[in-house]
């Protein structure tokens, strides 16, 4: 299957699909962190390249509920921030409405201000083998919800040894945006199998 992993520099989801035998490409404005098929540039350049499935991770900085407090600092609407949020929504919707038969868009809980469509499901890293809490919404089209693969006890993320997720420094935001490997593997095995099955039964 031809799989596009949009807005991914880490290669984590791309490599999980490649490991399952798919022709998977990541695409990001940034170069890929891990060598593999990657288009460095705007995802709009490659959206129409006949993909069977797209998994997209659009930026959430101005859309997320966690960032909503910056919209009304001291009770007054920050118009510049609202504009950035509306641009974020436009990009999100462009990916969500792409002409690709199977689509998964991933983002944290969005602020209701932006009126995004209702997400299909919520997943947590601790349902996929990582003892960390990070509420992640999935908007799915033509795909079944992900099933947990290994539920583990949550721990405070700062106490998980060797945990890149909570590392500080200049790459903090980049580290926190990286997809958890357990979730990537579940996407590749469950959605990959679903697509193969569909192809057999059609
Ligand atoms: C929240 S991060 C997702 C990171 C991803 N989960 C990973 O593991 O690499 C959003 C990414 O979208 C990328 N991005 C933003 N606008 C883009 C565009 N027009 N085309 C391609 N990538 C874009 C950013 O460079 C950033 O790396």
Task: Decide whether any atom of ligand 1 lies within 6 Å of the 57 Cβ.
Answer: yes
Stretch among 31-40, 104-113, 165-174, 190-199 having the lowest mean pLDDT: 165-174
Whether residue 165 has pLDDT greater than 60:
no
Sheet holding 136-141, edge to edge: 38-40, 23-28, 2-6, 53-56, 102-107, 136-141, 121-123
- pLDDT grade for 200, boundaries at 50, 70 and 90: confident
* Average pLDDT of every residue of the chain: 91
Q: Does residue 127 line the site of ligand 1, with CB under 6 A?
A: no
179 ligand 1 Cβ < 6 A: yes
Sign of CA dihedral 51, 193, 202, 93: negative
> What is the token pair recorded at 170?
């200049």
Ligand 1 contact, 59 CB (< 6 A): yes
Q: Look up residue 161 and give its DSSP letter.
A: T
Q: How far is the CA of 73 from the centre of ligand 1 (A)?
A: 27
Beta-bridged to residue 2, according to DSSP, are 23
Query: How many angstroms separate the CA atoms of 7 and 14, rounded?
Result: 11
């Amino acid at each position: 299957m031809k799989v596009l992993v949009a807005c991914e520099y880490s290669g984590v989801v791309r490599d999980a699909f490649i490991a399952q035998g798919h022709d998977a490409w990541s695409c990001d404005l940034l170069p890929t962190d891990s060598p593999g098929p990657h288009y460095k540039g705007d995802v709009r350049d490659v959206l129409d390249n006949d993909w069977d499935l797209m998994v997209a991770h659009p930026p959430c900085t101005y859309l997320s509920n966690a960032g909503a407090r910056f919209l009304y600092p001291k009770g007054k609407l920050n118009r510049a921030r609202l504009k950035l949020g509306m641009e974020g929504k436009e990009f999100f919707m462009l990916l969500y409405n792409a002409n690709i038969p199977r689509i998964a868009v991933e983002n944290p809980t969005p602020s209701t201000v932006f009126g995004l469509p209702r997400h299909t499901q919520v997943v947590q890293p601790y349902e996929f083998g990582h003892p960390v809490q990070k509420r992640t919404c999935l908007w799915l089209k033509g795909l079944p919800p992900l099933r947990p693969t290994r539920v583990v006890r949550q721990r405070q993320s700062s106490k998980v040894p060797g945990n890149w997720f909570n590392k500080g420094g200049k790459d903090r935001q980049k580290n926190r945006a990286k997809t958890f490997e357990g979730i990537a593997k579940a996407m590749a095995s469950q959605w990959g199998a679903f697509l193969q099955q569909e192809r057999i039964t059609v």
